[in-house]
Structure 1
């Protein structure tokens, strides 16, 4: 039955593309992220080789075909990499070299293949990022993309509420109801069977819906506000501290972005004080949070971060520049667990992957890998800031800048408390939104010049070789 549904979805996509001529790389990229998240590995997979075939991987093949078709029809725009793009290419190159050197010929027994993690947490997201950059969307297409994320968020919110209230008849896909699969059963965890990922996706969809709101009729705006209320409930039902922190931080940034310039400092200071007071009052509740485990287990989860930090420091001191090799923290940490020069225990992290994206990267790939990753994130933050707060930018450009900043605010707290390179779905949505924001920014750049390639897709072509107020220029 699942196989029939999968192929029905793909046939519907193909039919829609042929009938309505909307079979664009941007649409396929968004479908890959959204449909791939809902219909994951547990829903359907087929082993045809070393990598199982899943719905999102089928859609990746369709994306490559769509890009090839656009290239053959000369519909791709002229594209010059920005400084942040070179940071991404440097990161990919360094991680690939580190992975190959550390794992080829190795007989280490690892729970997750480093090559699998490299492919789906870095190479695949970069493909999505580039796809929307070289075949950028029109404003109308961007609105459809936001609507797709609004629909996804509504579905995820309903599923989260159904999980918490144990209304299993309303949960789809049905494998979510199996406590033997995945983690975090007892919380809202969604199709990825992970409450962190569900919470991050709900936050993304919440802000995508907020961005969509000014683009629709007033009657639909009321519907969207109701959907956003459901998404907030879903975020709360994940019972995940890092997700709550990301949502609060993104709300703070959105508040500042929507505040007139003359009131920004008072609003920022006032909201920061209120947030600090609220945190002080709720600190014990957050620390001893009762989830699917007890409050003491929740506290121990917080204390384990100290163990990860200590072991990471010792490992980094031994291999500061190149690291122990991409994907090798799991086994290379074992000799360090016998260290007894500290008062806290280390053994509880023996069977765990790293719980901090940045520490994980610096341990595995050294300062070079961490520097490239930070350069990529800082580059996106700077671009989002210029898009948002430069008042000469178009409304569409400022909206996407705010969305990019909100998504980064959602991503960063979770990256501090979890290694998101092991949750590849979260990597894909980050890269996709970044690519969409940069594509919109380059389209609406006030000094963008016509490209030499013919424009056949109904939007303005551009180059990035000129300087502009928005800061988008080739290195």
Structure 2
């Protein structure tokens, strides 16, 4: 990754562009430093902790955020990004349909069908062999596909974008994951309200989606039973109640330094208690806190959480809320808004350690923020006016 980042930066600088130091970069360094200090104090500064610090806490995420403007500063590169994710949506949807419908010829790579690899074999889990990660990427791809359908210069791509968005909706259903269902539904409602072009298409789009989902629900073997079973399954709810209550006790035990970055899973057994209205499930003592925000509080304490949250707000949330410096960034900002909504639901209801979904979110946030992060190379007058 470092080599690719340096190559992109070098190419950008050779065109006359320049990175600019901003307050967000300082806060990123402070947040990483606090998390690293937390590991040292807790004695968890091993290979696993360092890997988690890089990929889960933010070193790698912050790096792609900073470098993304150097990659996606041209209109053509962003259009290519939209199309790539539309194509990815086709792949993920077909694999999900093939897995749940029992058509192995549609599933590649074959390890997706191996029950000994990964988890959630009974759900559409894609190449990630995990249904939440698959659902996040399907949701992201759906958002990009809608963008292709609305703004792509090619009529063929616009038609294809609409088809891919519908396929991704089917794939999202097949993940049989409530956090993804809720997040995708919330993102779709928000997009329909905020984007005028979608408001005009809301009724035919809703009818098409209902028909597609209804056909899958009716004719794909096991989907209706699986969806109903997931909707009624109380064990995941108990896991969340147990681990989140334990997380609150962890925070109470050390509110300043926390129990140590990447340490909640190993300490979980010490903090699990019997609830008044729910049992301690078998898996509760073996998993980490199922809420990213509470997990950060428990592991790195209140000061570290404030720094981490400040980075999230200044980098990702601000990119959604702030009007971009260039009008051609508006479609990507709308996609980022949908992505952030889905990710937030997943983060509120699970640990969200998924590498590709997290990296994609921060990459898009960096691309949307390009006007405030870099000094752009000289460009023809066709560049949208500030």
Scaled by the length of structure 1, the TM-score of the pair is 0.68
Q: How does 1:20-419 map to 2 (within 5 A)?
A: 60=1, 62-67=3-8, 69-70=10-11, 73=14, 75-81=16-22, 83-103=23-43, 113-121=48-56, 122-213=58-149, 214-259=151-196, 291=226, 298-337=233-272, 339-340=273-274, 342-346=276-280, 348=282, 349-379=284-314, 380-387=316-323, 394-419=326-351
Select the structure that is richer in helix: 2
Please state how far the C-alpha of 1:88 moved relative to its aligned partner: 2.9
Corresponding residue for residue 219 of structure 2:
none
Please state how far the C-alpha of 1:238 moved relative to its aligned partner: 0.4
Please identify, of 250-259 and 235-244, the stretch whose mean Cα deviation from structure 2 is larger: 250-259
Paired with 2:333 and 2:228, the residues of 1 have a C-alpha distance of: 39
Query: Would the aligned equivalents of 2:191 and 2:338 in 1 still touch at CA under 8 Å?
Result: yes
Please state how far the C-alpha of 1:146 moved relative to its aligned partner: 0.9
Please state how far the C-alpha of 1:128 moved relative to its aligned partner: 1.6
Query: Would the aligned equivalents of 1:186 and 1:292 in 2 still touch at CA under 8 Å?
Result: no
Please state how far the C-alpha of 1:383 moved relative to its aligned partner: 3.1
> Residues 212 and 296 from structure 1, CA distance in 2 versus in 1: closer, same or farther, beyond 3 angstroms?
closer
Select which of 364, 377, 380 maps to 1:433.
364
Paired with 2:335 and 2:45, the residues of 1 have a C-alpha distance of: 43
> Residues 144 and 458 from structure 1, CA distance in 2 versus in 1: closer, same or farther, beyond 3 angstroms?
farther
Please state how far the C-alpha of 1:68 moved relative to its aligned partner: 6.1
Paired with 2:75 and 2:258, the residues of 1 have a C-alpha distance of: 44
Query: Would the aligned equivalents of 1:159 and 1:172 in 2 still touch at CA under 8 Å?
Result: yes
Query: Would the aligned equivalents of 2:242 and 2:275 in 1 still touch at CA under 8 Å?
Result: no
The CA deviation string for residues 204-260 of structure 1, in whole angstroms up to 9 with x for no partner, is 111112122212333332222111111110011001111111111111221222149
Query: Would the aligned equivalents of 2:12 and 2:71 in 1 still touch at CA under 8 Å?
Result: no
Paired with 1:329 and 1:135, the residues of 2 have a C-alpha distance of: 36
The CA deviation string for residues 310-365 of structure 1, in whole angstroms up to 9 with x for no partner, is 2111111111111000011112222223x457453335311112211111111101
Paired with 1:313 and 1:128, the residues of 2 have a C-alpha distance of: 32
Runs of at least 5 residues in structure 2 that lack an aligned partner in the other structure: 207-223
Query: Would the aligned equivalents of 2:243 and 2:268 in 1 still touch at CA under 8 Å?
Result: no
The CA deviation string for residues 395-435 of structure 1, in whole angstroms up to 9 with x for no partner, is 42222221121111010000001111x22222211111111
> Residues 321 and 101 from structure 1, CA distance in 2 versus in 1: closer, same or farther, beyond 3 angstroms?
same
Query: Would the aligned equivalents of 1:146 and 1:211 in 2 still touch at CA under 8 Å?
Result: yes
Paired with 1:68 and 1:369, the residues of 2 have a C-alpha distance of: 30
SS of alignment partner, residue 313 of structure 1: helix
RMSD: 3.2
Please state how far the C-alpha of 1:295 moved relative to its aligned partner: 5.3
Please state how far the C-alpha of 1:442 moved relative to its aligned partner: 3.9
Please state how far the C-alpha of 1:376 moved relative to its aligned partner: 2.6
Runs of at least 5 residues in structure 1 that lack an aligned partner in the other structure: 1-59, 107-111, 272-288, 462-467, 470-475
SS of alignment partner, residue 350 of structure 1: helix
SS of alignment partner, residue 359 of structure 2: helix
SS of alignment partner, residue 191 of structure 1: helix
> Residues 134 and 100 from structure 1, CA distance in 2 versus in 1: closer, same or farther, beyond 3 angstroms?
farther
Please identify, of 178-187 and 426-435, the stretch whose mean Cα deviation from structure 2 is larger: 426-435
SS of alignment partner, residue 128 of structure 2: coil
